Amino acid sequence: MTPELITFGRYLAGEFENQRQAQAEPVWYVHLRLWLRPLPLFREDSIALFAEQASIINLDQPYRPRLWRLTRSESGGLEVRHYMFNDLKSVQGAGKNPDILRKISLEDLTFLPTCTLAVQVHTLPDHQYQFIAQPQPEQRCQFTYEGTTYQVALGFEVTSHSLKTYDKGLDPGTGKGIWGALLGPYQYEKKRDFSAELEV
């Protein structure tokens, strides 16, 4: 794995909250906690992160579990491949429960080919970086779970201390946003660092 890929993984591995944003704009932004927890999968060429979030007032009811695979694209750049869990309930709460994390295997996952993000890398002062993950032009993330088809617009930006997420659900009929970052990104700050859990 390249130093760039490892740095990308270190920046993302952690527990994040958008507390300041939620306090400043409580009408538009719910106070959320987001977990991005390293998983020992795809270790030959990638970094895998279990992603899950919850409202601060309902931390025992996390939702949107998914897996991010940080890897190199065929062109040599970085990309983020998204995977869906075949049984969402079986992994619920894994963000704060390592015992559940350790039981996850490749057989529990389905790759979502239309949900891959290309990553731009920008160099900042003091040997810091900014990573910007965006979908390919004209690509729309779409998948089916338990007979229902979903469309999601994906994207995020991360530095060593902050994370902005642009994820929002789309109405498959109209393409309009129906949940998520409808008025701009969720702006998170890293509260706990899980980079020591990376096996790199």
151 vs 11: which has the higher pLDDT: 11
Q: Which residue segment(s) compose the domain that 178 sits in?
A: 3-192
Examine the pLDDT at 78 and tell me if it is beyond 90. yes
Place of tokens 């400043």: 24
How far is the C-alpha of 106 from the C-alpha of 31, rounded, in Å? 32
Please report the pLDDT score of residue 178 as a whole number.
84
71-75, 82-86, 125-129, 172-176: least confident range = 172-176
Residue 199 lies in a domain: no
Domain contains 198: no
Averaged over 9-27, what is the pLDDT? 97
Q: Is residue 123 part of a domain?
A: yes
Measured CA to CA, the distance from residue 117 to residue 79 in angstroms comes to 5
Output the pLDDT for position 38: 96
**C-alpha to C-alpha distance for 18 and 164, rounded to whole angstroms:** 9
Tokens of 81: 């491949």
Q: Is 47 inside a domain boundary? A: yes
For residue 177, tell me if it sits in a domain.
Answer: yes
What does the block give as tokens for 58?
A: 């309902």
Distance of alpha carbon 136 from alpha carbon 120, whole angstroms:
12
Q: Is the pLDDT of residue 155 over 90?
A: yes
CB-based contacts of 26, cutoff 8 Å, min separation 6: none
Dump pLDDT digits (tens) for 26-61.
Answer: 999 999 999 999 999 999 999 999 999 999 999 999
Closest of 180, 182, 112, 177 to residue 142, by C-alpha = 112
- Give me the CATH number covering residue 27: 2.40.128.590
Number of independent structural domains in the chain: 1
Q: What does the angle CA 18 – CA 154 – CA 184 come to, to the nearest 5 degrees? A: 45
What pLDDT was estimated at residue 20? 97
86 Cβ contact partners less than 8 Å away, ≥ 6 residues apart? 108, 109, 110
- List phi, psi (to 5°) of 71: -155, -175
Task: List, for residues 101-136, the tens digit of each pLDDT value.
Answer: 999 999 999 999 999 999 999 999 999 999 999 998
Assess if residue 200 is contained within a domain. Answer: no
Neighbours of 90 (CB within 10 A): 13
Q: Are 37 and 95 in contact (CB under 8 A)?
A: yes
